[in-house]
Structure 1
């Protein structure tokens, strides 16, 4: 979508356009000439303001809903505003500290991803999305500890320091020596490999009868492999939180649009494909309305940013989705800061 250059607008047209867009993003309602004439920054009569608004509408930057005499920005107008006029509002110190605290809490990385999605939803008032990293860490050690007579805790330590905990069902006849033997076997076969690589190698070795494990240890290892393989298959590619935020008072007036958006969000693989474009772009991306085919019917906007590990490699994408009247000036830097904070969790 190509918007006209900002230099094509006069100073007063630029100022009125900015006030209309900011007023619409703040209230969700069209902005009329009467409201603008009462603004001290506009030193024009209502008639002159209406002429400017008509010119901006003719340029495709504003539209007049048939139910109101006011104007609201078109998708083209929003794109011009976001690209050339928006003044971002950096997160406050309190907001930055809250983000870092919530994402810095110890625990499995899956919990941090869930927390990030919920956090983005809370901060933006829209729906938060996080694409799960596709990069698997290489393992350094695997240890098994009995929790009780029926369960075993598996601790997987990555070469990058990443730690994951998994709970396995324990065979009734497993003994302490079985756990130790199984732990040693798992560490020896998984060191330097991803979980998927290690599982594949161990499955082949056990199936061929080449493993030196006793029956109890072999049963325990096979249960672990089955659990980890199933977990990798079922692990969601996308975590979405805060869909209820999309059902605000203004959205209820356009329930078909919201229903279309919620249907789109149910198709997580399609949304993940959209976010992959932000990953490939290697930088923040803002998709407004019909600029992306997936959300063209719901008329929604997506703000997405890749997040990186400590070595600067992109490992995933996060963002928010909501109506086109998102508070871009606030949400864009918030998404950027959250991406940088989450990246610190990856070695």
Structure 2
């Protein structure tokens, strides 16, 4: 887990009170007052002494006082210190472990990934997400041009693994059937078995073999084909249980922020970038509030872990929930799910 040490050292008494405050707030969702801390912390301190320590914690930016209450709640910085230094992670319950082991068995990769996303959501009651592995570079088996109308041409792309992609090209001038056959033959004779990046580099030198007015068609085909293959190979993710977040009071009380969060899920790009970062990290990563760099997640925490196939990291998974989450329970769920998914996706000898 990534370590972000606190800027201000806390003595043991302050650490115990902060830990108690965070745990009480996570459990109850209510600002924690000095009397409650006095009863729960196990420290024989007067409410006045506790208030002084709370004032120090507030000055350090670790807790804050809501306007409507005399109690205090942790800030994102307070959660960070708690997670990094004070948290006691709980072992996964036996029933949860057995459920994960039962469902995450070797199977079709897409089915196992969908199952992992669903289990993360089901066990945490938040949103579960699994980033699919990026596919390896794709080589082309065959390309074909088919005339649809005067200036509309269908480009058919067949890859060496049998996938078929179609793209419509809009051209500046009409092309005859003979020209389309010549262009098709030229591409297949010269570039079959290559990736589009390689085709783009080589076609510049080879185009002199065709009439100059065919270059527009070739350039359009290469650009459209490269875009089609890039979309196919790009990482995506499987998201489950996002509707659970509608039931989380900390999030549902701000409908504008919740709408922003669901737009983030719909458009995917920003969340994918965050999950790609965790893909390159070791072990569980925790992004609390603004640490994600995504405004829509300012009230959320994202707990992630990478997963592997044959010992190589290929993707990541995680849980998206409110900053007020039971970290001691969510962290082991994410960690063990990543390990079991790795095992399920790695071919058994």
TM-score normalised by structure 2 residue count: 0.69
Aligned residues between the structures: 270
In 2, distance between residues paired with 1:282 and 1:39? 35
- Residues 253-309 of structure 1 show CA distances to partners (whole Å, capped at 9, x for unaligned) of 222322222222222122111100011224321111101211456421111100012
1:133-212 to 2 correspondences below 5 Å = 133-135=133-135, 196-199=159-162
RMSD: 3.2
Q: Tell me the residue number matched to 2:65.
A: 64
Q: Does the Cα contact within 8 Å between 1:3 and 1:76 map onto a contact in 2?
A: no
Residue equivalent to 2:332: 333
Question: Does residue 291 of structure 2 align to residue 263 of structure 1?
Answer: no
Partners in 1 of 2:41 and 2:280 — Cα distance? 45
Structure 1 residue 3 displacement after superposition: 5.3
Distance 1:313 1:33, change over 3 A: same
Looking at structure 2, the residues matched to 321 and 236 of structure 1 have their Cα atoms a distance apart, in angstroms, of: 18
8 Å CA contact 2:63, 2:72 repeated in 1: yes
Structure 1 equivalent of residue 125 of structure 2: 125
Q: What corresponds to 2:341 in structure 1?
A: 342
Summarize the Cα distance change of 1:297–1:126 in structure 2 as closer, same or farther, 3 Å threshold. closer
Q: Alpha-carbon deviations, 1:39-70, whole Å to 9, x = none?
A: 26131121111111111101111111112211
Instruction: Give 5+ residue unaligned stretches, structure 2.
Output: 139-157, 167-183, 190-227
Alpha-carbon distance between aligned partners in 2 of 1:307 and 1:318, rounded to the nearest angstrom: 7
Kindly report which structure 2 residues correspond to 1:240-319, keeping only aligned pairs within 5 A, or say none: 240-247=239-246, 248-295=248-295, 298-309=298-309, 311-319=310-318
- Which stretches in structure 1 are left out of the alignment for 5+ residues? 139-194, 210-228
Matched, 1:109 2:72: no
1:42 partner SS: coil
C-alpha distance in structure 1 between counterparts of 2:35 and 2:74, whole Å: 17
Distance of 1:316 and 1:14 partners within structure 2: 36
| Contact in 1 for aligned 2:63/2:78 (Cα 8 Å) | yes
Rounded Cα–Cα distance in structure 1 between residues aligned with 2:249 and 2:233: 36
Kindly state the Cα deviation for residue 137 of structure 1 after the two structures are TM-superposed: 11
Q: Secondary structure at the match of 1:301?
A: strand
Give the TM-score of the pair, scaled to structure 1: 0.69
Go from structure 1 to structure 2 and tell me whether the alpha carbon gap of 1:196 and 1:341 turns closer, same or farther (over 3 Å shift). Answer: farther
SS at match of 1:319: strand
Task: Please report how far the alpha carbon of residue 81 of structure 1 lies from its aligned counterpart in structure 2 after TM superposition.
Answer: 0.9
